[in-house]
Amino acid sequence: MMKKLSKLNLNIHIIFLSVMFALLITVQPGLAELSNHAYKQMQETAPEYIDIEVLKVKTEKLTDGITVEIEAKVTGVKRSESNLKAGDTIAIRYFHDTRGLIGPAPMPILDEGKSYPAFLVKEDGNNFYEPAAMGRSFSVVN
């Protein structure tokens, strides 16, 4: 009787592990980091592709992340649908997730005084810009 019970338990464990492995294989790709090609495509279609110098960084901690507001000076313009020019000062707002979830690249918190390329979008009615290429909005993907 014990041998039959042990074999049954072993079979149940094998089935359970097989199902869990199958779920892991099918679910994980949906949570994976995006490919460089996907980020490159977002960068190529971003309405704003500019160079910025970060003047001020304001952050506010929340339970699942940090809201970030950047004041930046435009130092160069590669393309701009909102007619930005070198010397303009802009505001950039975004959310930095601190939960450590698997998924697209997290938004970086930029450093004051440093320069970055920026792929941005400005929604109608807003007086600020937002990242257009997720966590790769402040670096060029080749």
Q: What is the pLDDT of residues 125-141, one digit of tens each?
A: 889 999 999 999 999 99
pLDDT, residue 57, reads: 98
pLDDT, residue 41, reads: 95
What pTM does this model have?
0.76
pLDDT, residue 3, reads: 54
Distance CA 2, CA 133 (A): 59
pLDDT, residue 15, reads: 54
Distance CA 29, CA 122 (A): 30
Residue 28 CA: distances (Å) to CA of 21, 33, 104, 124:
11, 10, 12, 36
Class at the top of the CATH hierarchy for domain 38-136 = mainly beta
pLDDT, residue 110, reads: 97
Mean pLDDT of the chain: 84
Q: What is the pLDDT of residues 110-121, one digit of tens each?
A: 999 999 999 999
Q: What is the pLDDT of residues 24-45, one digit of tens each?
A: 444 444 456 788 899 999 999 9
Q: What is the pLDDT of residues 38-79, one digit of tens each?
A: 999 999 999 999 999 999 999 999 999 999 999 999 999 999
Q: Is the pLDDT of residue 96 over 50?
A: yes
Q: Residue 137 CB: number of other CB atoms within 10 A? A: 26
Q: What DSSP string runs through the chain?
A: -HHHHHHHHHHHHHHHHHHHHHHHHHHHHHHSPPPHHHHHHHHHH-SEEEEEEEEEEEEEE-SSEEEEEEEEEEEEEEEETT---TT-EEEEEEEEE-S--SSSPPPPPPPTT-EEEEEEE--TT-SSBEESSGGGTTS---
